[in-house]
Amino acid sequence: MSQAIETQPVEHELSGKYLSFMLGGEEYGVRILKVREIIAFQDITPLPRMPDYIKGVLNLRGRIVPVIDLRMKLGVNTPEITAHSCIVVLEVETSAEDETLAQIGCIVDTVSEVLDISSEHMADAPRFTGSLDTAFILGLGKLPNKDKVVALLDIDHILLTAEVIELAKQVANETPPATEQ
């Protein structure tokens, strides 16, 4: 199965509008339909004993929304909060059975623009050997006129509940209870 065949269809399943944002100098995109809103960076209440990339929870107009640091999650260098940092609130599927969407905030460096990526500019996700995890990359959007490539994130799977539960379990096991006595 060559890439040529996969990219051949008239309408690539990935074509459409994407919100692009920066993470440590790299540009990423998520489907615009997944985006609920973009808010300025604000105080986050940390959650104890969670994986590092889960930064905590914040109050979004009376609703508590968990926040993750996409840079840490994707392994894109160390995070740093600047005046441009903001939180993109996304609506994600949490599991196959549950059709209702959960909200999740993602800390990004800056939000760039809304891109309309057409079929001919789509490329499948690359595979790398080594530590680089490309599992969350749906594909790449090439923008010839701007001379850049945007990695399109599979946001539903980036924080699939099962994975987080696994992580939480690990964390719980690493912390033996009652260490004090």
The CA distance from 138 to 134, in Å, is 9
Which x/- pattern, by CB under 8 A, does the window 93-132 give for other proteins? -x---x-x-xxx----------------------------
State the Cα angle at 58 between 56 and 60, rounded to 5°: 150
Q: Is 177 in the site for other proteins (CB under 8 A)?
A: yes
Question: Strand pairing of 101-108 and 86-93?
Answer: antiparallel
Q: Is 81 in the site for other proteins (CB under 8 A)?
A: no
DSSP 8-class letter at 83: T
Q: Which is closer to other proteins, CB of 54 or CB of 137?
A: 54
Question: How far, rounded to the nearest angstrom, does the alpha carbon of residue 169 sit from its chain's CA centroid?
Answer: 22
Q: Is 151 in the site for other proteins (CB under 8 A)?
A: no
Q: Is 154 in the site for other proteins (CB under 8 A)?
A: no
- The CB-of-70 to other proteins minimum distance in angstroms stands at 14
List alpha helices for 28-160, DSSP H. Answer: 70-74, 155-158
Q: Is 175 in the site for other proteins (CB under 8 A)?
A: yes
Q: Which residues pair with 16 in a beta bridge?
A: 117
In the region spanning residues 26 to 55, those forming contacts with other proteins, defined by CB under 8 A, are: 43, 45-50, 54
The CA distance from 92 to 104, in Å, is 7
* Contact set with other proteins (CB under 8 A): 43, 45-50, 54, 56-59, 61-66, 92, 94, 98, 100, 102-104, 159, 161, 164-165, 168, 172, 175, 177-181
